[in-house]
């Protein structure tokens, strides 16, 4: 069914604060109502847009702060029709939005990123094939880790010995280290695949990691592309724990190479929107290590949250600008930054996972200068759940590190070794 309403003319910007011919306010929509949707909604509202969220959960973090919240399943025809009726342009905040829903929306509305790009990012097998294609024919390109796709007993048998020990990852629906198991040998591999219900998977060689990084680009419908500075990321138990951004966080040649690879990955998808690509720096004995591409997210990313406080254009504003067809100035980092994820575990420091949740000591934390607290409005603090994050900014990298380590100690986050300052040996 075609929805009533005012259709945006492709290529014509959706201007903020505009009253349309239909009498509606210019409205931007998002599929998914998690914390990424919430920060998108907040960025859109800051610029004067109305917002609409489609998420079945009545208490979804984005639904709670949006002008409109459509509470239906993602593939519900009426829900999608309502979203189209409300919105001039629609984006997505998590990669597992069913891509047929995006196809439906895309037939009538600007949808950024497009369904095809989202479908590729949803499936590790398709994603890796895209990375391999992007890496072909360019001398300086970045390949994925050695891997094999497994979707039959024959392919399981045929896995080359050099991929073991490895990491078996489900092709779909994995996140925050979920849906993956480390396997030492063929017996463990076969048992792990059985345990995963023999769904399509990839087996990746387990690599000795020296570091991890990510690059976030924003690409407009005209093909113009801008980027945030490359982020250095520390994961714990498969979940992002710390992001560091400052001029000395990574060897410049490595960061530049990752940026070029990310641009190629976005270009070859004809991507419109914000795209994050994660990389491994593999310890191969050389001083800098070798770059390997890991995975991509067709949306803003946890490793880009610092941009809200440390850049003059955040990743969420970039998402708004790309979907609305607004200009895309190159973002500038105006402060060195550290982002610390706040997982539900921090609410259970004294009582253990089964006990009563207790809020972390916010008053003590907020005494620290340069600490920016972001909480996502989630009511129950389960271990491993992303409840919020902190960004720490400051006049120098040293100051940021000292404050961030103090904040971590106060909250019960394990310390880490920060990267050296710019110009340090």
Site residues for Mg ion per CB under 5 A: 278
| CA-closest candidate to residue 179, choices 115, 113, 95 | 95
**What single-letter DSSP state applies at residue 344?**
G
Q: Which does 174 bind (CB under 5 to 8 A by kind): ligand ADP, Mg ion, none?
A: ligand ADP
Residue closer to ligand ADP by CB (options 106, 238) is 238
Contact flag: residue 127 with ligand ADP (CB under 6 A) = no
Phi first, then psi: what are they for 167, rounded to 5°? -120, 120
Cα dist. 314→11, 32, 303, 310 in Å? 23, 19, 12, 8
Dihedral Cα 401, 278, 262, 93, nearest 10 deg: -100
We find the least distance from the C-beta atom of residue 182 to ligand ADP, in angstroms, to be 8
Is residue 295 within 8 Å of 160, Cβ to Cβ? no
Assigned token pair, 68:
């409109």
How many residues touch ligand ADP under the rule CB under 6 A: the total is 17
Q: Which does 357 bind (CB under 5 to 8 A by kind): ligand ADP, Mg ion, none?
A: none
Residues 153-212 that bind ligand ADP (CB under 6 A): 167, 169, 174-177, 204, 206-207, 209, 212
Q: Which does 167 bind (CB under 5 to 8 A by kind): ligand ADP, Mg ion, none?
A: ligand ADP
We find the least distance from the C-beta atom of residue 235 to Mg ion, in angstroms, to be 8
- CB atoms inside a 10 Å sphere around CB 254: 18
List, in sequence order, the alpha helices (H) in 268-396.
Answer: 307-310, 315-324, 362-365
Considering only 238, 361, 383, 384, the residue that binds ligand ADP (CB under 6 A) is 238
Residue closer to ligand ADP by CB (options 176, 345) is 176
Site string for ligand ADP, 216-235 (x = CB under 6 A): -------------------x
What gap in Å lies between CA 335 and CA 225, rounded to an integer? 22
Q: Which does 84 bind (CB under 5 to 8 A by kind): Mg ion, ligand ADP, none?
A: none
| Sign, CA torsion 354/355/359/360 | negative
Residue closer to ligand ADP by CB (options 56, 177) is 177
Residue closer to ligand ADP by CB (options 8, 302) is 302
Assigned token pair, 298:
């067709």
Residues 259-318 that bind ligand ADP (CB under 6 A): 278, 294-295
Residue closer to Mg ion by CB (options 301, 321) is 301
What gap in Å lies between CA 89 and CA 111, rounded to an integer? 6
List, in sequence order, the alpha helices (H) in 107-208.
Answer: 115-121, 124-135, 153-157, 186-195
We find the least distance from the C-beta atom of residue 131 to ligand ADP, in angstroms, to be 12
Residue closer to Mg ion by CB (options 279, 376) is 279
Q: Which does 175 bind (CB under 5 to 8 A by kind): ligand ADP, Mg ion, none?
A: ligand ADP
Please write down the HEC assignment for all residues of 15-59.
Answer: CCCCECCCCCECEEEEECCCHHHHHHHHHHHHCCCEEEEECCCCC
Residue closer to ligand ADP by CB (options 149, 209) is 209
What gap in Å lies between CA 107 and CA 46, rounded to an integer? 28
We find the least distance from the C-beta atom of residue 125 to ligand ADP, in angstroms, to be 13
We find the least distance from the C-beta atom of residue 278 to Mg ion, in angstroms, to be 5
What gap in Å lies between CA 171 and CA 97, rounded to an integer? 15
We find the least distance from the C-beta atom of residue 145 to ligand ADP, in angstroms, to be 5
Q: Which does 207 bind (CB under 5 to 8 A by kind): ligand ADP, Mg ion, none?
A: ligand ADP
Residue closer to ligand ADP by CB (options 55, 295) is 295
Contacts of 349 (CB under 8 A, 6+ apart): 358, 360, 412
Residue closer to ligand ADP by CB (options 174, 421) is 174
Cα dist. 410→14, 123, 326, 356, 368 in Å? 44, 39, 41, 19, 11
What are the residues binding ligand ADP (CB under 6 A)? 145, 167, 169, 174-177, 204, 206-207, 209, 212, 235, 238, 278, 294-295
């Amino acid at each position: 069914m075609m929805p009533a309403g005012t259709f945006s003319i492709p290529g014509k910007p959706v201007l903020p604060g505009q009253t349309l011919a239909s009498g509606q306010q210019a409205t931007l929509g998002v599929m998914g109502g998690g914390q990424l949707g919430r920060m998108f909604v907040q960025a859109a509202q800051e610029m004067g847009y109305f917002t609409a969220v489609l998420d079945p959960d009545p208490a979804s973090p984005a639904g709670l702060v949006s002008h409109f919240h459509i509470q239906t399943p993602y593939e519900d025809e009426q829900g999608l029709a309502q979203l189209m009726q409300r919105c001039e342009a629609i984006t997505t905040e998590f990669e597992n939005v069913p891509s047929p829903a995006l196809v439906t929306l895309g037939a009538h509305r600007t949808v950024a990123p497009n369904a095809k790009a989202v479908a590729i990012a949803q499936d590790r097998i398709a994603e890796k094939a895209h990375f391999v294609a992007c890496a072909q024919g360019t001398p300086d390109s970045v390949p994925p880790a050695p891997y094999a796709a497994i979707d039959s007993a024959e392919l399981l048998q045929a896995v080359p010995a050099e991929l073991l020990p490895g990491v078996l990852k489900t092709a779909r629906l994995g996140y925050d280290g979920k849906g993956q198991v480390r396997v030492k040998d063929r017996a463990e591999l076969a048992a792990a695949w059985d345990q995963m219900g023999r769904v399509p998977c990839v087996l990746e060689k387990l690599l000795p990691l020296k570091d991890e990084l990510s690059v976030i680009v924003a690409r407009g419908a005209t093909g113009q592309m801008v980027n945030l500075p490359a982020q250095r990321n520390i994961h714990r138990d498969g979940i992002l724990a710390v992001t560091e951004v400052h001029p000395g966080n990574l060897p410049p040649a490595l960061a530049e190479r990752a940026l070029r690879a990310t641009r190629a990955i976005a270009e070859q998808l004809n991507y419109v929107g914000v795209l994050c690509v994660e990389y491994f720096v593999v310890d191969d004995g050389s001083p800098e290590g070798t770059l390997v591409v890991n995975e991509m997210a067709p949306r803003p990313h946890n490793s880009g949250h610092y941009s809200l406080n440390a850049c003059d254009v955040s990743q969420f504003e970039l998402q708004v600008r790309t979907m609305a067809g607004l200009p895309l100035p190159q973002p500038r980092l105006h402060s060195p930054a550290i982002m610390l994820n706040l997982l539900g575990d921090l609410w259970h420091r004294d009582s253990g996972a089964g006990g009563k949740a207790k809020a972390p000591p916010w008053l003590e934390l907020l005494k620290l200068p340069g600490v920016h607290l972001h909480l996502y409005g989630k009511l129950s603090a389960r271990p491993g759940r992303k409840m919020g994050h902190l960004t720490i900014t400051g006049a120098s990298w040293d100051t940021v590190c000292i404050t961030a380590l103090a904040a971590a100690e106060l909250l019960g986050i394990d310390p880490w070794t920060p990267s050296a300052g710019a110009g340090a040996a």
